[in-house]
A and B are shown apart, each in its own frame.
Chain A
Amino acid sequence: MGLEVITDELIEKLLTVKKTVDNPRARRKNEDGNERVNFNLSDDEGNKFVLYQRQNTILGMDDDFSCGLSWVMPSGENFTLVRYNGPSHNHPNKIEGNKVGLVTHIHKSSKRYLEETGKADGYAEATTKYKTLEGAVASLTADCNIHRLKTKFDQNKLF
């Protein structure tokens, strides 16, 4: 079963279904210039997911982070459903022809992007939901109905 099964309805269903973290104490690895951890998740229908967290640890790259939720397809490949990124880069939306700017932004997969660009998660929108990786994980966990993972939202700071 490959990418031909992907529809917007399936993406929405996989995002919103209740998911539970199977390994909340997964070990963090710090190598190759980044700190990373993968959590395995499952839902009541037996679907498997991966929630990944990545933080670039190289000097000057604090703003380079990402956390994402992938669905583990029956073929064994991972299909990214959403990705919450830091402001380290200016992401362009190929189809719309605009750029989000150097801000935190959320990629969300769609059938349209899969068909027209070959990559489902090519569309992103700017967000103010978080400032750090920790805040991004908290937002993603809340948005995607993920349970059994301790998270902490970023404090809102007044400037």
Chain B
Amino acid sequence: MNINIDVLRTNLCKAFCTEIQVSSKNEHLIRIETPFYFPDGDPYQMYLRELSTGGLRLTDAGHTMMHLSYENDIDTFRKGTRELLLNQIKLEMGIYETEGEFYLDTTSDNLSVQIFKLGQALTKIYDLTFLNRARVESTFYEDLEERIYNIVGKEKVKKDYVYSEMENADDYPIDYFFTCNGQPLFLFGIPNRDKAKLTTIILERLLRHQAKFESLLVFADTENMPKNDFKRLVNVGGEIIASLDAKDDLSRKILKRVHKNL
């Protein structure tokens, strides 16, 4: 190997040193500038606070949660899947949280390692934003489409079908139409309560026009569906699939109506 390891070590240490800057912010906090950044280019904010016990608290001083709230509803981080994931990240990374402030307690000897640990943790926390509702719903529709095409093939399904035998039919779109031996199958993807309400309206209208069909409702997550919206929909709808995790059930319910060779 031609690399001079000693020179490399010296250069790396110098480079890392340059990347970390320490300065006094005010009487309460020492500012630590690091090479960690949010996607918008703003740096992670890290500070040191002296503890009455004599140690040091390395903290983000609440900035991370505030930053996340610019484009995300951070109330969702306090419930359901996101809360579980957040707690898991804190546990895995050994960081703590008090009222939106992420921190860990350290000594000056251990500070360099802890700075990288806190930086890594804040990155994982930021990545929870990929679970925001709009992105999750978009993923749900993509996943649903992929499942359907894997079950019956793209050529056997019509997407965004319109039942033309009623007025203003374009206002009542059907997510997927399957040709069957008997009555056709209409499939609706239900990622949220708004779609549940819309699908209830569509199904009621189809029934009022005495359309002949069977329906299959595929939910993203029935547990988070408000009870009344869920009840109204399943009353007018046909079979249901509670989530895309139920792959075999989805396949069974489609294939019992749709023949692969049709």
Q: Given the complex of chains A and B, what is the CA–CA distance between A59 and B61 in angstroms? A: 8
- B interface residue count range (under 10 / 10 to 19 / 20 to 34 / 35 or more): 20 to 34
The segment from B21-29, B115-123, B147-155, B162-170 found at the interface with A is: B21-29
The residues of A that contact B99 with a CB separation of less than 8 Å are 31-33
The residues of B that contact A107 with a CB separation of less than 8 Å are 40
The yes or no answer to B33 lying at the interface (CB within 8 A) is yes
Q: Given the complex of chains A and B, what is the CA–CA distance between A122 and B41 in angstroms? A: 5
- Interface contact tally, CB-CB below 8 A: 104
Contact: A56 with B71, CB < 8 Å?
Answer: no
Contact: B61 with A56, CB < 8 Å?
Answer: yes
The yes or no answer to B79 lying at the interface (CB within 8 A) is no
Q: Which of A60, A117, A118 has the most CB of B within 10 A?
A: A60
B138 (CB) vs chain A CBs: closest residue:
A75
Q: Can you offer 21 A-B residue contacts whose CB atoms are under 8 A?
A: A36-B66, A52-B69, A54-B70, A56-B63, A59-B28, A60-B27, A61-B61, A66-B66, A70-B71, A75-B134, A77-B132, A77-B135, A80-B70, A89-B45, A90-B33, A91-B42, A94-B41, A117-B39, A118-B39, A119-B40, A123-B41
Nearest CB on A from B240, distance (A): 24
Chain A residues within 8 Å of B, Cβ to Cβ: 31-34, 36, 52, 54, 56-61, 64, 66, 68, 70, 75-78, 80, 83, 85, 88-94, 107, 117-119, 121-124
A64, A76, A80: which contacts B45 (Cβ < 8 A)?
Answer: A64
A56, A91, A122: which contacts B43 (Cβ < 8 A)?
Answer: A91
The residues of B that contact A36 with a CB separation of less than 8 Å are 66, 69
